[in-house]
């Protein structure tokens, strides 16, 4: 519901958009369509932030440097800890992509570029191939499997571990580290629980600090991901230890939850549209386009991306005050009929130029290569091994993790592999 507030500002509340409502999580599109039609931009009284919904406005705001993702610019940000109380977690966080000034961010992106170059990334392809194969080998000839359990909860964090060069016998250790890093950033956890998770990340940070020190002591730091970060130089400027830790931190926070939903939503989208799955089988060259279209179509993010105004700004006819939070609702934007024809249909041949599935502007996603490698290896292996797969009966009603802080997380998706003897006989 809306009304006009002070200065003629357009206002809504949780009755119009509640990202935690079960109805919304089950079927978000009717809510998005109301937001897109009636509230391109509005002040959300319950969330205490602006909500920007249309494709055009989301695109504009993400490219506008007067809005920063640094939550220290937020009017309600807690005061920073005194320097003497800061631990590795705090120091890595404050040097990270989402916490530094635009200028420092540009430097960070420049210095991390070589680590994300094709030659370095190509080295991880084979390792991720083995990981995906191992996950499918574990499923084997089973008549059915749960996508979340067998693939989505296993591939993303281990892919990051392999990308940053953690030895396979330390992957469980890295997994615990990653789980605690993510927990420490969850705004919907109590302070005590968050603090315990943060303490539990410290052995992981210590592991990487030791590894960085070991590499620095060698004549050459190596030409893998970590070595490229250590060796990178721009006019004599190099990354320090905490900046390198901040990159690992960013990969975990930005790349594990998102890629978990990637696997479930890729398979759910295709198995509920068998004609699109068939098309992909016939035309494997559509794979990359299909992955982006499935992400657009599924739009698993329920919370918007945050920005904070660094000055008073007039934007789309509304007055945004310095320090106010702005939610960039890109999931709604991906279903904007003004931008996408038939936004609610899945079409893996769709022309996706100008999409903002991976953001846009200075903070454009750094992990797109890893998304493509993980997503295409998973889908390719799935199609090869289970040509007759379909969703198991009863999967019309999905199991969501209702309280997930960020995503419309599907935490159980059972697939009938088509290898079930009873089904073959039927």
Determine which residue in the list 114, 298, 304, 367 makes contact with ligand HEM, applying CB under 6 A. 367
Which CB sits closer to ligand HEM, 17 or 334? Answer: 334
- Is 74 a binder of ligand HEM (CB under 6 A)? no
Closest CA to 259 of 358, 119, 135: 358
The yes or no reply on residue 365 touching ligand HEM (CB under 6 A) is yes
62 binds ligand HEM (CB under 6 A): yes
99 touches ligand HEM by CB under 6 A: no
- The yes or no reply on residue 405 touching ligand HEM (CB under 6 A) is no
Which of 363, 404, 405, 408 lies at the binding interface for ligand HEM (CB under 6 A)?
A: 363
Other CB atoms within 10 Å distance of the CB of residue 341: 9
Q: Is residue 86 involved in binding ligand HEM (CB under 6 A)?
A: no
Q: Does residue 153 bind ligand HEM (CB under 6 A)?
A: no
Q: Nearest residue to ligand HEM, using CB? A: 367
Site string (276-295) toward ligand HEM, x via CB under 6 A:
-------------------x
Which residue stretch of 19-27, 33-41, 189-197, 352-360 sits at the interface with ligand HEM (rule: CB under 6 A)? 352-360
CB-nearer residue toward ligand HEM: 260 or 381: 260
Our finding on whether 298 is near ligand HEM (CB under 6 A) is no
**379 near ligand HEM, judged by CB under 6 A:** no
Under the binding rule (CB under 6 A), the answer on residue 71 touching ligand HEM is no
The interface mask with ligand HEM, positions 239-258, x = CB under 6 A, is: -----------xx--xx--x
| Residue with Cβ nearer ligand HEM (228 or 258) | 258
Smallest gap from Cβ 387 to ligand HEM, in A, equals 25
Least distance to ligand HEM, CB of residue 371, Å = 5
Q: Does 358 bind ligand HEM (CB under 6 A)?
A: yes
Give me the least distance between CB of 266 and ligand HEM, in Å please: 9
Q: Residue 346, interface with ligand HEM (CB under 6 A)?
A: no
Shorter beta-carbon distance to ligand HEM: residue 16 or 406: 406
**DSSP collapsed to 3 states, the chain:** CEEECHHHCEEECCCCCCCCCHHHHHCCHHHHHHHHHHCCEEEECCCCEEEECCHHHHHHHHCCCCEECCHHHCCCCCCCCCHHHCCHHHHHHHCCCCCCCHHHHHHHHHHHHHHHCHHHHHHHHHHHHHHHHHHHHHHCCCCEEEHHHHHHCCHHHHHHHHHCCCCHHHHHHHHHHHHHHHHHCCCCCCHHHHHHHHHHHHHHHHHHHHHHHHHHHCCCCCCCHHHHHHHCEECCEECCHHHHHHHHHHHHHHHCHHHHHHHHHHHHHHHCCHHHHHHHHHCHHHHHHHHHHHHHHHCCECCCEEEEECCCEEECCEEECCCCEEEECHHHHCCCCCCCCCCCCCCCCCCCCCCCCCCCHHHCCCCHHHHHHHHHHHHHHHHHHCCCCEECCCCCCCEECCCCCCECCEEECEEECCCCHHHHHC
Compute how many other C-beta atoms are within 10 angstroms of the C-beta atom of residue 230: 20
Under rule CB under 6 A, residue 178 binds ligand HEM: no
To ligand HEM, the closest distance from the beta carbon of 196 in angstroms equals: 25
Catalog residues that contact ligand HEM under the rule CB under 6 A.
62, 69, 97-98, 109, 160, 250-251, 254-255, 258-259, 262, 295, 305, 357-359, 363, 365-367, 370-371
């Amino acid at each position: 519901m809306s009304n006009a507030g002070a200065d003629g500002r357009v206002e809504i509340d949780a009755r119009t958009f509640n990202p935690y409502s079960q109805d919304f999580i089950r079927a978000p599109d009717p809510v998005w369509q109301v937001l897109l039609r009636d509230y391109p931009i509005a002040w959300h009284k319950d969330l205490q932030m602006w909500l920007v919904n249309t494709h055009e406005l989301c695109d504009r705001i993400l490219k506008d440097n007067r809005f920063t993702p640094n939550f220290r610019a937020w009017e309600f940000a807690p005061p920073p800890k005194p320097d003497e109380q800061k631990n590795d977690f705090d120091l890595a966080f404050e040097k990270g992509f989402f916490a530094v000034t635009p200028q420092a961010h540009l430097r960070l992106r420049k210095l991390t570029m070589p680590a994300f170059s094709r030659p370095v990334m190509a080295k991880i392809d084979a390792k991720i191939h083995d990981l995906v194969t191992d996950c499918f080998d574990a499923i084997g000839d089973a008549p059915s499997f749960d996508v979340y359990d067998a693939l989505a909860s296993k591939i993303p964090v281990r892919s990051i571990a392999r990308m940053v060069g953690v030895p396979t016998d330390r992957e469980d250790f890295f997994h615990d580290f990653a789980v605690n890093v993510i927990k420490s950033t969850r705004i919907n956890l109590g302070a005590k629980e968050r603090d315990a998770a943060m303490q539990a990340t410290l052995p992981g940070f210590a592991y990487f600090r030791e590894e960085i020190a070991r590499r620095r002591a060698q004549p050459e730091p190596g030409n893998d991901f970590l070595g490229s970060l250590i060796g990178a130089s721009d006019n004599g400027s190099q990354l320090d230890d905490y900046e390198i830790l901040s990159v690992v931190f960013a990969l975990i926070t930005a790349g594990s939850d998102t890629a978990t939903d990637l696997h479930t939503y890729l398979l759910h989208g295709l198995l509920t549209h068998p004609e699109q799955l068939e098309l992909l089988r016939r035309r494997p060259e559509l794979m990359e386009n299909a992955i982006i279209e499935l992400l657009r179509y599924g739009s698993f993010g329920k919370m918007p991306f945050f920005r904070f105004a660094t000055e008073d700004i007039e934007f789309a006819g509304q007055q945004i005050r310095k320090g106010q939070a702005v939610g960039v609702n890109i999931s709604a934007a991906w279903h904007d009929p003004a931008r996408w024809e038939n936004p609610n249909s899945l079409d893996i041949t769709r022309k996706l130029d100008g999409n903002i599935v991976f953001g846009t502007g200075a903070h454009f996603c750094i992990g797109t290569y890893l998304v493509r490698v993980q997503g295409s290896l998973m889908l390719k292996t799935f199609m090869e091994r289970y040509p007759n797969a379909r969703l198991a009966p009863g999967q019309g009603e999905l199991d969501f993790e209702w309280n997930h802080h960020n995503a419309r997380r599907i935490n159980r998706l059972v697939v009938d592999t088509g290898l079930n003897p009873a089904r073959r006989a039927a």
